[in-house]
Each structure stands twice: as C-alpha cells, then as structure tokens.
Structure 1
C-alpha cells in the first residue's frame, strides 16, 4: 500500500512539472522600434490589410464540401488560403473600403440577382475604438460598418510585426475570421 502511494505521488509531481514547463507565454517580445512604428501606423488612420487566410465558421455544408475533396490541396472547412486572391480592407480616417471573399453560410439572402457573394464595404466606420493592449502588445480596433441592409461588427487585432487578425460578424451571414498583413496607405 505504501509503495502505491509513493508511485502515485511521484507520478503526480512529474505530471505537474511537465505541465508547468510547457506553459507558453501570452505575450511576444517586440522591439521598441516595432511598437513605435505600430503606434504611428494606427495614429495615422491610413491602414490597409491584405488577408492571406480565411477562417470560416465550420458548418455541415462546409464539412461536406471538404469531405468531397472540393477544396484545393492544403485547404479545408476551417481554413482557406487567400494567397493570390485579390482582397483588402482599408481604413482611411472615418471611411472604410473592403472587398473580402466570403466562405460560409448566408442566413438572410441578398437582393435578387445579386452577383456579389463576398463582403463588400464602401462607407463610414461607426463607433470606432482603437486601444493598445500593453499586456499583449497589440492594437485592438472595433467598429461597425453597414452596406445596404447588412451590418458588420468588426474586431481587428494588429501586432507590431505588421500582422492582423480580423473577426467579422454579420447580421446576414455566419461569422468569419481573416489573417493577413498590414501596411500604411500612401
């Protein structure tokens, strides 16, 4: 009985040590120059994001397409490469322009005969907030934008290495996320 208790205690200590040693840090170290460039980029309010990957919300329909082998090699129902596909999201002052491909399910149909299946924006940004999260070394942008009858809630995280993650929630479609590169609009 004593031997089992010792084995259990040793196993518990080793398991705890393993989990503690595998802890990852939530904050990446960036140089001061990278962070100051990020501040200048955001304060200028002339940002362009070109996405390299789309992350649609998995659904039965997307999984069926993936299982049928209809996605190109390296893509699946959870991530789709956008490399080589023209796309952008531009913020200039209080206006926004975007042409983003959309993968997922539409809950409310668009106008009859509409050929635009992607996310297309050309208008004003509403309720824009830009906050620098010092703990995570990133800017967090949140805003709302509308096109015709559809409204989008957009959350963008911009990192000092000029990478961005976007989450777009729509009133008419399933949610989708994008990841890509950020640059200043000249």
Structure 2
C-alpha cells in the first residue's frame, strides 16, 4: 500500500501543478489582454485628438492660449495665471497676449505692455508639415504690423511667435482650442 499511496500522492501533486500552471497562464493572458486594450484606448484618444486638431486648423477658426512666454534675452514666464489668447478667424485675428521684452520706437514708456491688437489678416496661410501645421498670418494693427507664426502639433499643443516692427520677437508655448460661442440672453 505504501507504493500505491506514493503513486497517488505523485499523481495528485502533478494534477495540482498542472491546474496551477493553467490558472497562472489564464491570469497572465487576461492581464495582457487588458494591457493591450489600455494601449488601444490611448491610441484611440490620440487619433481622436489629431482629428479634432486637423478640423480646427483647417477651419482657420480657433483660439491659442499660452502657458509660457519665452521672451528674447529674458527668463521664461509662466502664463497660467494671466489671461491671454489669440483668436484666429479667416477675416479677423484678435490678440490679447502679454509682452515681455524690448520695445523699440513707437511704444511709450509705461504704456500698454501687451500685444493687444485686432485686424483683418493681410496674409493667412496654413501648411501641413511632417510633425505640425505651420500657420502664418500678418495683421496690421493701429500702430504696428504683426507677423504671427504658429506651429500646431498634431495633438493640439502649439508654439506661437509674434514679431513686429516696434518690439522684439516673443514666443509662447500653449495649446489651441475650439472658440466657445457666447450665449445671447
């Protein structure tokens, strides 16, 4: 009986090991399937964001909101607490961006410190590159002419550079968004 009980114990042991291996492989497969679906969800969100960005850029109606300002010769400035934007329309561009940098002629000391202008773009071009859309707009304001170069990356982040005749060039990092229509009450 001793031999039979040993054989039975070995058989039970092999069965337990086999069941354990099957259970572990199922657990790993389930975990891998969930990981794969998370990756697929992430890719789906990325593709959806790229489609939204493409639609905004092609419509030429969107708003750029800056997160940081990068003035020439000065440190980077955080803009998250400062209201700022540039609204792009095919027939009008409006800027309410802060300015940090050097002013040359035509800007009074202690005067308007920002790049506040509104006007019909004399030039408004959109080109799709390998990594980003390149948008160029030229707007004549009351006192100056502004050249805006906007690089919009496919996921919606953007870099805006504004140059003018009377001020040094300044760049901003930020994002583009759909212009929210105000409700009329």
Q: Which residue of 1 aligns with 2:149?
A: 155
2:96 is aligned with 1:99:
yes
Give the root-mean-square deviation of aligned CA atoms: 2.0
Contact 2:50–2:156 under 8 Å retained in 1:
no
- Greater Rg over alpha carbons, structure: 2
Is the contact between residue 51 and residue 178 of structure 1 (CA under 8 Å) also seen in structure 2?
Answer: yes
Give the equivalent residue in structure 2 for 1:164.
158
**Hey, what's the Cα distance between the residues in 1 that align with 2:78 and 2:138?**
26
CA distance in 1, matches of 2:150, 2:69: 14
Q: Quickly say closer, same or farther: Cα 1:39–1:80, change in 2 above 3 A.
A: same
Paired residues of 1:90 and 1:97 also in contact (CA < 8 A): yes
In the superposition, the TM-score normalised over structure 2's length comes to 0.68
Aligned to 2:78: 81
Q: Could you tell me the TM-score, scaled by structure 1's length? A: 0.68
Structure 1: 5+ residue stretches without partners: 1-28, 59-76
Give secondary structure in 2 for the equivalent of 1:157: strand
More helix by share: 2
More off after superposition, 157-166 vs 34-43: 34-43
Gaps of 5+ in 2: 1-42, 181-185
Task: Look up the SS of the partner of 1:43 in the other structure.
Answer: helix
| 1:31 to 1:113, Cα distance in 2 relative to 1, 3 A | closer
Shift of 1:116: 1.6
Q: CA deviation at 1:31?
A: 4.4
Tell which has more relative contact order, 1 or 2 (C-alpha 8 A, sep 6+). 1
2:116 to 96, 117, 120: 120
**Shift in Å, 1:34:** 3.1
